[in-house]
Amino acid sequence: MADQNTTSTTQTWTHRWTFVLAAAGSAIGLGNLWKFPYMTGENGGSAFVIAYLVCIVLVGIPIMMAEAALGRRGRHSPINSMRGLAKEAGVSRMWELVGWVGALSGFLILSFYSVIAGWAIAYAVDMFSGVFQGMLPEQVEQSFEALALDPVRMSIWHGVFMAMTGFVIARGVHNGLESSVRIMMPALFILLLLLLGYSITETGHFMQAVEFMFAFNLDALTEEALLSAMGHAFFTLSLGMGAIMAYGAYMPKKASIARTIGIVAVLDTTIALVAGLAIFPLVFANGLEPGSGPGLLFVSLTSVFAVIPGGQIIGGLFFLLVVLAALSSAISLVEPLVAWVIERTPLSRLAATVVYCLMVWLLGIGTVLSFNEWSGEEYQIFGMTFFESMDYLTANITMPLGGLLIAIFAGWIMKRAHIAREMNLSSGYFNLWRALCRVVAPAAVLIIFITNISD
């Protein structure tokens, strides 16, 4: 099946849990630390969590299983895997576009994601060094505005984050990807538990956070909330970007895709809920607004860390947690296209990584300037800044399109015997997965796609 002009991926994860950590790292990002907990609290608490989990089972997990299976079957980068799989299925090589759509999504997302991650690095450094200690809330806000209005400083931290990402990717599958996730993901879990322990014992508002997030309020579970649950179930697992397909290419044949992906989904949801229980007690203890998005991280919580006892250390650990979450996601966005470049060109992994990361950094300058020099209407595209247009394009078009095509190919195009061999499920479970992948998941993604575009 392998394309004669490419080199098949021969390296595999040394253990199934390495894939779990890598895939979980791809899924766990900045949104887990504020977006999902906030969505839970505002949309019915545990009623929303139940709806979200149903969407994870019916939409997220089936597509994630399909993407991992395509990667393992193809044993190439997502682009070349789809080319080979299309040839094996006897269909047009245009299905290779699935890989390209994913690569484009990852490239565009990382260009602005790394800018926000650069803020987190800057804040971690400043927090540990005591810059924010004793600051009043208005001074913290002014500090954030000063950062956003300084394109040089933002570009430097954006470059630092891309250099960190490139360092991991350039070291390869075992020395880079495996080694990094084995360190970063346990460190992320430990830091989150430390913050949770602090919120439980020191804030006095832990039960208020529990009530905010888990009070069963069916009336708040509106049609809009259900659509939000469906959309977040898709996006939180990093579907449609080629990351899971790329990681699936390194997955050992004996590993169970269903069991492994199930663990990843549980970890992703658990981290998001624990993050809410760690953050919201601080929010409520200081009379802050829980739904202020990125401003909650860089202004509101920073104002809290500036005045609470031990805030310098607690705040530093928090932003270190944010950096680790962002880095684990970023490396999964780089790997698919770097793997393709290695397969199709004489460039080494190091050279391919440097070129790719430099291109991402250059595109990211558009996001940097969106907060300052290019913030005026004359620089906007359809009423959106460069940053907003990149976010809109990926969240509403390229990612849903990639996920939809993956579900269609695995469910309808790929030969049943081939996909069944990868899934290695009993006939009953396989038929259930195939029904979800062929009908339910594509219908849900289409609903997300149409709703987002119309909005």
pLDDT in 10s for each residue of the chain, 455 residues: 544 444 444 567 777 788 888 888 888 887 787 678 878 888 888 889 899 999 999 999 999 999 999 999 999 999 999 999 999 999 999 999 999 999 999 999 999 999 999 999 999 999 999 999 999 989 999 999 999 999 999 999 999 999 999 999 998 877 888 888 888 889 889 989 999 999 999 889 999 999 988 888 888 888 888 888 888 888 888 888 999 999 999 898 888 999 999 999 999 989 988 988 998 898 888 887 776 666 777 888 898 899 888 899 999 998 998 899 899 899 999 999 999 999 999 999 999 999 999 999 999 999 999 999 999 988 888 889 999 999 989 988 999 999 999 999 999 999 999 999 999 999 999 999 999 999 999 999 999 888 877 76
What is the model's pLDDT at position 201? 92
- Global confidence as pTM: 0.90
Could you tell me which residues come within 8 angstroms of residue 95 by beta carbon, excluding any fewer than 6 positions away?
82, 83, 85, 86, 405, 409, 413
Cβ atoms of residues 74 and 96 within 8 Å = no
How far, in Å, CA of 355 to CA of 404, rounded?
30
The domain segmentation of the chain, as residue ranges, is 16-454
Letter string b/e over residues 247-272, b meaning 16 or more CB atoms within 10 A of that residue's CB: bbbbbeeebebbebbbbbbebbbebb
CATH code of the region 16-454: 1.10.4160
How far, in Å, CA of 221 to CA of 119, rounded?
34
Q: Which burial class, exposed, middle or buried, applies to 229 when counting CB atoms under 10 A from its CB (0-12, 13-18, 19+)?
A: buried
Could you give the C-alpha distances from 385 to 272, 362, 372, in angstroms and in order? 29, 17, 11
Break the chain down into helix, strand, coil percent, rounded to 5: 80, 0, 20
SS3 384: strand
Q: What is the DSSP letter of 1?
A: -
Question: Tokens 């009953």 label which residue?
Answer: 428
Nearest to 210 by CA among 222, 221, 196: 196
